[in-house]
Structure 1
Amino acid sequence: MRNLKTVFASLFITSLTLFTSCDPDDNGETIDIPEVLEYNNIQGFFETNGVQDQDFTLDAVTGGNIIGEDGTIITFPANAFVDGSNNPVTGIVDVAIKEIFKPSEMILSNKPTNALSFSNQNTFLLSEGETEVKISQNGNTLQLANGINYQISVPSAGGLDYEMLPFEGTTSDAEGIVWDPTSDVGVTSSGMQYVTAPASYIYDIFNTGWSNCDKFYNYPGAQTTNYINLSNSPNASETAIFLIFEENNLPAVVKFSTTYANGIQSYIDMLPEGLAVTYVAITVENNQQYLAMEDVTISDEEELTLNFEVKSTQEILDALSILD
């Protein structure tokens, strides 16, 4: 990740016309036209700016492959789907997928790498790729037939790692998503396939919805809790807080959602002391968007107050892209 001084220096020119474009008036003079947002809360921001569906069709009887724009390959067997009454489905079905690999996509889509451990404790992951799969026919949601699974292949950025696992995601507005390795989502790490040409992980999925090829982040040193003071946020109740770092080319994007007296805190005693990270905060208020970004080295029990600045949608996208 580049230093944020470099990030904001590169955005200086566009920052001169915050949220505006310039059109001439009747006298030939330029006037500022404010950006009109399609939403008035942070969830609307995520829905509008997050990764959107890629749409495909598939013959339910024969099955086949779906190949996403970023290299995800989803392979369905023949006769894989049933309707709401558990009847086998024939004919053409609609397949909608989302692929998320980059920190910017995880933030904009509200799909962080927060997770539950095998002992049901809060933790977080390093990700090789998040995938959503939805199946429908004539607007009606379909499910996998009993005993049927499909395969997902995701390009690998980190190389062979025997700690990689498949995870299933449960979504919510507050947390975005939480990844669970104990659900009936796929195979164990011993069954996770890794191929070298092209470098990819292949794993089995037994449910539609969100899945993830990840590993638990393990840190041998001291761990602590951090606090983000939102007393100067333009809209504290609609502020999303993320912590971002990378290891071995794999991103971790951790969302804070636990409130405390002055704002939002991390999981208790889960942040590695001495780790260099970037904090990102986004909020929406009165048809304006605000962004705060700060490079930080995690310190013991630290409370941080971030600096929020008015930003256009494009400025937010540009700033977040530097994290990728």
Structure 2
Amino acid sequence: MNTLKCMLGILLITVFIITGCSRDDENSTPILPQEILAYDDLAGFYSTHGVQKQNFTIDATVGGSITGENGTIITIPANSLVDVDGNLVSGMVDIGIKEIFTPSEMILSNRPTNAINFSGENTFLLSEGETEVVFTQNEDSLQMAMGTFYQIQVPSAGGFDAGMLPFRGTITDDGSIEWNATRDIGAGNGSSGMVYNAAPSSYLYDVFNTGWSNCDKFYAYPGAKTTNYINLSTSPNAVETAIYLVFEENNLPAVVKIFNSGEPIIQSYTNSLPVGLEVTYVAITIVDNQQYLAVKSVVISEEEELSFDFEPKTTQEILDALTLLDD
């Protein structure tokens, strides 16, 4: 009898412990596993989350047009592609394109609107659309034959503007991009290398080289300009922190990258930021398998030094935050 009582007591205690643990588990906050990133630096972040290539094929002998997912039309003339030795190619060729229109796409792809003006000074652009075009045959790179060009037609968000120009992009040492105008500013439709179509609203321009091109205008501001400074002492990884300044005018985005020199305090282009302009700063960094984001809206003040509050974020939280910049 004593043995039976002992066994029943042990059983009751065991049930109580199990039940108590279950109730504690129900009322406690679950510990979620940390997101496992497929990359450990910003280069991997851009490669993974940036705009991805769209693939097409055409007959090089015949030429033709292709249309991207976001409405960019690429028209390639017949017999216009050559191999690395300058030999005309025939048969089917592969075309890879990327279309970038929004601030979030520019940040995620590391393709800001930083530019060089006609005086050789650092400046930035308002963009109607960035486009990359690459031709290959059997995985070998192709180029345009001498004297030939393809055409890019991009949907317009801002309507006709005589200041619109074609730009060519050059990849910088940190994998970003810098834009140079390929034509001088003209006085009307077509004289600057751009042809505006009213229906549907779009710009058409000629491109003589493969790679990145852009339909843009130089940002013009009649007021005072200044230099701003970014204090990275609050960043979890100051050496590898990307900082972007974002704003919009006439439905056209400008995304200006503040290049990181690796110093604790970095600066914008000298005397380039319009005093009184309302902008949003975005800063991103990665360290020890954790991504950090800081978003700060400010009105540009003269010679101001800014710092950011970095917060750990999941990939989806970063994507959601950047998408808000597109509105």
1:104-123 alignment runs, 5 A limit: 104-123=104-123
For residue 17 of structure 2, what is the aligned residue in structure 1?
none
For residue 283 of structure 1, what is the aligned residue in structure 2?
285
Distance 2:175 2:136 in 1: 27
* 2:207 counterpart of 1:205: yes
For residue 244 of structure 1, what is the aligned residue in structure 2?
246
- C-alpha spacing 1:183/1:172, structure 2 compared with 1 (3 Å): farther
SS in structure 2 at match of 1:320: helix
- Which amino acid counterpart does residue 205 of structure 2 have in structure 1? Y
- C-alpha spacing 1:33/1:261, structure 2 compared with 1 (3 Å): closer
1:70-89 alignment runs, 5 A limit: 70-89=70-89
SS in structure 2 at match of 1:135: strand
- Which amino acid counterpart does residue 194 of structure 2 have in structure 1? M
- Which amino acid counterpart does residue 229 of structure 1 have in structure 2? N
Distance 2:230 2:175 in 1: 16
Task: Mark the structure with the bigger radius of gyration.
Answer: 2
For residue 317 of structure 1, what is the aligned residue in structure 2?
319
- C-alpha spacing 1:126/1:75, structure 2 compared with 1 (3 Å): same
Distance 1:198 1:61 in 2: 29
Q: TM-score, normalised by structure 1?
A: 0.88
Distance 1:183 1:53 in 2: 27
For residue 23 of structure 1, what is the aligned residue in structure 2?
none
User: In the TM superposition, what is the alpha-carbon distance from 1:189 to its structure 2 partner?
Assistant: 4.6
1:174-253 alignment runs, 5 A limit: 174=174, 176-182=176-182, 189-253=191-255
Q: TM-score, normalised by structure 2?
A: 0.87
The structure that is helix-richer by fraction is 2
SS in structure 1 at match of 2:261: strand
1:166–1:188 contact (8 Å) kept in structure 2: no
- Which amino acid counterpart does residue 180 of structure 1 have in structure 2? N
Distance 2:292 2:82 in 1: 45
Identity %: 64
SS in structure 2 at match of 1:319: helix
Q: Deviations over 1:104-144 (max 9, x none)?
A: 00000000000000111100000000000000011100111
- Which amino acid counterpart does residue 261 of structure 2 have in structure 1? T
SS in structure 2 at match of 1:296: strand
Query: Which contiguous aligned blocks of 4+ residues in structure 1 show a shift greater than 6 angstroms?
Result: none
Distance 1:261 1:88 in 2: 49
Report 1 or 2 for greater relative contact order, CA contacts < 8 Å, sequence distance ≥ 6.
1
- Which amino acid counterpart does residue 236 of structure 1 have in structure 2? A
1:247-262 alignment runs, 5 A limit: 247-257=249-259, 259=261, 261-262=263-264
User: In the TM superposition, what is the alpha-carbon distance from 1:264 to its structure 2 partner?
Assistant: 2.1
Distance 1:176 1:100 in 2: 14
For residue 94 of structure 1, what is the aligned residue in structure 2?
94
- Which amino acid counterpart does residue 132 of structure 2 have in structure 1? E
2:76–2:150 contact (8 Å) kept in structure 1: yes
Q: Deviations over 1:254-284 (max 9, x none)?
A: 0011538533210000000000000000000
Gap regions ≥5 residues in structure 1:
1-26
